[in-house]
Amino acid sequence: MSLTIPPTMRLYAMADRFVWGSFDDSPIVLKALEQSTGPLLELGCGTGRALEVPLKKGYNVIGIDHSKDMLAVAKERFKTYNNLRLLLGDVTQMQYPGFGTVAMLLNTYSVFTDAQVRLDILKRVAVSMNDSGNAVFILKNDNEAGRKSSTREEVSEIEAGKKLHYQGAAEYDPRTGIRTLRLKFRFGDENEHHIIPTILFSVEQFAREAALAGLVVSELYGDFDLSPYHREQSPWQIYLLTHQK
Ligand SMILES: C[S@@+](CC[C@H](N)C(=O)[O-])C[C@H]1O[C@@H](n2cnc3c(N)ncnc32)[C@H](O)[C@@H]1O
């Protein structure tokens, strides 16, 4: 039920760095870490796209993901760092206390289409945060641009003579409020196809869900450069959450 993205994702993991590698959310992650002083727990860390900057700054980091393929890429990438632990597991089942900052980035929260599962995740996040800790959540913004259908294609030569093809499409269904992502990967004879339903949240809905877990939105931004959130213009909703006092 909670495993809305299948854990077998070899080609997705291979493609991760060239398709999504340019997203730089380090400003908000570092801001949160400067306020909390760490350590950092990233839920659904994937191939570790967002971990490099905190690791280089010397923060202790734990990354959890349910995909062996994703974690294998992260392990190889950060093999020289001794301030990182990578754990295989389901974030809806795991709970670790003692973190300054807990992060769920790049719309990962939105793949949990079941409200009860989301509440459970937020409660686990709250337990993982120290008393003065915080959490970073990044969600796709629910505006006209966010609801538009989109497609994207990338081809990258990963091995000599072998190209990895990526085709991504997003389609929003106004009747259900579900934005479905269809990701297709091809590498030689291997094919992989993921259909991932996601939810678009209004700021009010997300704040309500956070409040149910005893969390409050302390800061809200609209893009990775920490520009202010604007309902119609911002591509993202970037939240800093703290415990309700
Ligand atoms: C959209 S990707 C984001 C990856 C990474 N955080 C980033 O920002 O580049 C979502 C990640 O969450 C992981 N994931 C999804 N559901 C999960 C679950 N129930 N438990 C653990 N990891 C999960 C997926 O394997 C995937 O790596």
Beta carbon of 40 within 6 Å of any ligand 1 atom: no
- Whether 65 lines ligand 1, by a CB cut-off of 6 Å, is yes
Q: What's the pLDDT at 21? A: 84
CA-nearest of 196, 200, 194, 182 to 110 is: 200
What pLDDT score was predicted for residue 1? 33
Class level of CATH domain 10-140+201-243: alpha beta
Confidence (pLDDT) at 5? 52
Per residue of the chain (245 residues), give pLDDT as tens. Answer: 334 455 578 999 999 888 888 899 999 999 999 999 999 999 999 999 999 999 999 999 999 999 999 999 999 999 999 999 999 999 999 889 999 999 999 999 999 999 999 999 999 999 999 999 999 999 999 999 999 999 999 999 888 888 999 999 999 999 999 999 999 999 988 999 999 999 999 999 999 999 999 999 999 999 999 999 999 999 999 999 999 98
Question: Considering only CA atoms, which residue is closest to atom 9 of ligand 1?
Answer: 49
Query: Are 49 and 21 within 8 A, CB to CB?
Result: yes
| Residue range 144-198, CATH number | 2.20.25
What separation in Å is there between the alpha carbon of 51 and the centre of ligand 1? 13
Indicate if 144-198 has the same CATH topology as 10-140+201-243: no
**According to the model, what pLDDT value does residue 92 have?**
95
- Residue closest via CA to ligand 1's atom 27 equals 46
Give the residue extent of every domain in the chain: 10-140+201-243, 144-198
